[in-house]
Structure 1
């Protein structure tokens, strides 16, 4: 028996745009300023219509998206908030020829596909065809590429081969994300939500000045605790699908001079939870280990998938006084540990045959 019902109540202020009407005055006529003011988009509508700039071509000066000769879709951090986007997977519906899905068998592993170019594997040595870049750092493996949007300043999806500017493994395209940077102006932003099935999300981002005009800092915290809402009829566990995610991201920006600035970003995260359940409709034959889990949630073994990662990014920008350019140096280090236990073939526990 599988219970698929999940009602959600998110305690957050979300503005929904139902319709936007436009008024075009008659040629040569005058329009009441109050009417024009009333017709200006407000709230989420204004955020969704704002101009977006990009550095996808790695120029020193940002360009407006509509002026860049690349098939791309871009979102600012404010737009992502207005759309109530929680993770990168939820953006697939809004972009043509783009699928930003998980691999399905391993938590936190990306199966990104652009224009039909993608892979469907959780093996770390398999090179992706869609490159993922976070703060200029290339993620060389698909593990840990499914990012939460709580501290993202902007996201861009570039469709088509991008090898000239981004190197290898971008045959299908590239997904670039940039987290928020420290600011000298003190800000504090928090967010919390909870559902009927006790899926809790908490986030905090604060930034401010440590040394005025010289050193600024940022601290971002994110936590999600999902109790799960499926019932495992084999074990009696009615909280199958539970998962926990924690992210810590501090950052420092050091303004050395008017022409030289360095930003350090550290991140540590953990994503753990139940493993995906295999489905196989075969019946047992002799002592062979074949599937008996006709109900996809009848799983007698405790399967799990835990992933831990950390990375350090150093970005230095030097404005060249000769000409109109900027020299940028990005040095990164990333480590990912992943362990899991799963019954990949969906088979029964046959004698003398260990689980995979």
Structure 2
């Protein structure tokens, strides 16, 4: 880990030259479904274009990881999927355990505060999850997870300018089934999962469920006595999650599915690791003690706040599909979700209240989508209408040096309507074309309260024992309303060279919603949507019935990026911080996937992502009526130049059952954790993972032993760069070396 100046070189010309060769298209990672043919290369199905298709025939950059591969790799949480998808970052956010930081191809959103929209869309069974809080989903009853890279503006709409992640749960069929699974590991890990389905009416009505209790001791501790009067574990886990599904198939042409899910996360808040010693000494304030020093253990921390945290999330959806005839079908998806988060974030991680932020977040959403779809030998069409109504609110009290509290609270609410259509037409047996477009109209309303108070103020009474919140009169500093509309197109051409090779080229556009500044100090105007324009060239190919080579090259321009800048006003000639469309960036890159079925039992896979990304413009007021371009002072955060994964799987058949031995080595090149250049740099690192899986001859018992991060690499996944306050440069880290044994029984 470094936090000093470092120059960076860009290799765009070299990459461009290399990518103009024959290899170019979307990387896909295979799941472990049964082989489609004798070659040993597996048939993979995805719904990247909102219809079920074979992945090798889909001209989209998509990674699909199926249920068997997830189980055999011991993958228990969605963030681990980043290993299999090039140029992708999925990590637990700073200060919390269930807030997602998602970047694809250098496009995402660093700040998870309400009001800021994500750059990567998260979907559970076609239902959009609007906020990153609670979006670090544990893998329960999943059929596959798909990662769609690049703007998905035509089919998926707003806030998918980087891409989309789809969490697809299993559909039910057949006889009654129950699955029991228990996992025990180091750090006191205890995971218990039970899932089942039962036919209430054979082949007509099914009821299914999945329950999970996921607990683990902390990787470290909060040292000293915290504000709630007890020592607490740091980086622990305490989650209960459940899902209920009802499926009804009254006729061969009609299908209904109702889902309900709920997650309660009572894991502690995460304490960060100080990279710089506090500028407060014990002589200045004896209460700080040793907490201001740089600790030896990166998982140990201090906090002057309570260390408890809670995230409650629940939602339901109703899907109805009707197949009118062999060509036409209609589909309806109705859904609602809500989330509430209460957290304590100590930005300075000491025993004194230098910069502490207790916070509340809440959001609710309702959505409705209608689809009209058509498919014959030459034309595939997906079209629809979409409605979304969401409310996102929050409050935080930034306690500064125990004598002043800055309070910010507010809501950023949106209502949007969209109409979309995308179709692919085969002009000949070899040549086809894809056209898509989406029109979205969105209205956003927002209010912000922003003030400061002498002394310490918490969000509400009884948060701290015996604390009673003062009766504070709140006045809105911002009360705004704005409407935007956007047309986002997609154009693509595909050429089927032969049965085993397809090449394609495409252009697509996406947008991230306009918004109001959630930290506004005046009634400032809203900022317009961000826009990403992207082109891709690609190839999908299979060779000698054993080798699959897929790749893509892409280039994108990201304009109207939403950043803060100092703006002079008549009321404030010295200037005030405002949110504006003052940034722009660009990127070029490659994504490559190779799979080799060496024998019936031995399989190798390799995935590579390279991206050259940079800011081309960030404007700052120069104090004289103009602006300076300070883009050289910024970098694309959470985006390593290089990501790579190499894996091997070996199947062994014995009289005692089947064994699958696997391993993978995942490498992430050097990357910066925040967008201000050279504030905090994570050196390149690699993670080695090993596993062995056993399946009984009857198929009812399974067992698996997984060793993650074998070499115990230390690597940062989040940061707070408040160096101007008490040398506040704080990092948060990924998991240490872990070992877990899982035993399962199905009947």
Q: TM-score, normalised on structure 1?
A: 0.80
C-alpha distance in 1, partners of 2:304/2:332? 51
1:82 aligns with 2:79: no
Instruction: Determine the C-alpha separation between the residues in 1 that align with 2:324 and 2:97.
Output: 44
Deviation readout 1:199-258 (Å, 9 max, x if unpaired) = 111111101201122211101001111122413332384743322111110110011222
Runs of 4+ with deviation above 6 angstroms: 44-48
Higher helix proportion: 1
Contact 1:274–1:305 (Cα < 8 Å) also in 2:
yes
- 1:144 paired residue number: 134
Instruction: Identify which of 124, 142, 157 aligns with 2:147.
Output: 157
1:37 aligned residue: none
SS in 2 for 1:146: coil
**CA offset digits 1:251-296 (Å, max 9, x no partner):** 1001122211100000111012121214353312868x99835435
Query: 1:46 Cα shift?
Result: 6.5
Which residue matches 2:53?
A: 63
Give 1:312's aligned residue.
316
Deviation at 1:355, TM superposition (A): 7.6
Answering whether residue 237 of structure 2 is matched by residue 247 of structure 1, we say no
Q: Retained in 2: the 8 A contact 1:303–1:343?
A: no
Q: Distance in 1 between matches of 2:154 and 2:402?
A: 55
- After superposition, the Cα gap between the structure-2 partners of 1:116 and 1:147, relative to the gap in structure 1 and judged at 3 Å, is same
Query: What are the within-5 Å matches in structure 2 for residues 56-205 of structure 1?
Result: 56-59=48-51, 62-205=52-195
Taking a change above 3 Å as real, the CA distance of residues 239 and 275 of structure 1, as seen in their structure-2 partners, is: closer
Asked which structure has the greater CA Rg, the reply is 2
Deviation at 1:196, TM superposition (A): 3.0
User: Which deviations, in whole Å up to 9, do the C-alpha atoms of 1:119-146 show, x marking residues without a partner?
Assistant: 1223132110000110010001111211
Task: Tell me how far apart the structure 2 counterparts of residues 73 and 140 of structure 1 sit (CA, whole Å).
Answer: 22
Higher mean Cα deviation, 75-84 or 156-165? Answer: 75-84
Q: Could you tell me how far apart the structure 2 residues matched to 1:177 and 1:213 are?
A: 25
Q: Work out the CA distance in 2 between the residues paired with 1:78 and 1:49.
A: 15
8 Å CA contact 2:305–2:344 kept in 1: the answer is no
Higher normalized strand content (fraction of residues): 2
TM-score using structure 2 length: 0.39
Residues 55 and 94 (structure 1), Cα distance of their counterparts in 2 relative to 1, 3 Å cut: closer
Q: Which runs of 5+ in 1 are unaligned?
A: 1-43
Residue 114 of structure 1 and its aligned partner are, at CA, apart by 0.2
Distance 2:78 2:279 in 1: 38
CA distance in 1, matches of 2:402, 2:130: 40
The answer to whether the aligner puts 1:217 opposite 2:207 as a matched pair is: yes
CA distance in 2: counterparts of 1:112 and 1:317, whole angstroms = 31
Selected match of 1:54 from 8, 25, 46:
46
What is the root-mean-square deviation in Å for CA atoms of aligned residues?
2.6
1:354 is the counterpart of 2:456: yes
Matches of 1:84 and 1:256, distance apart in 2: 37
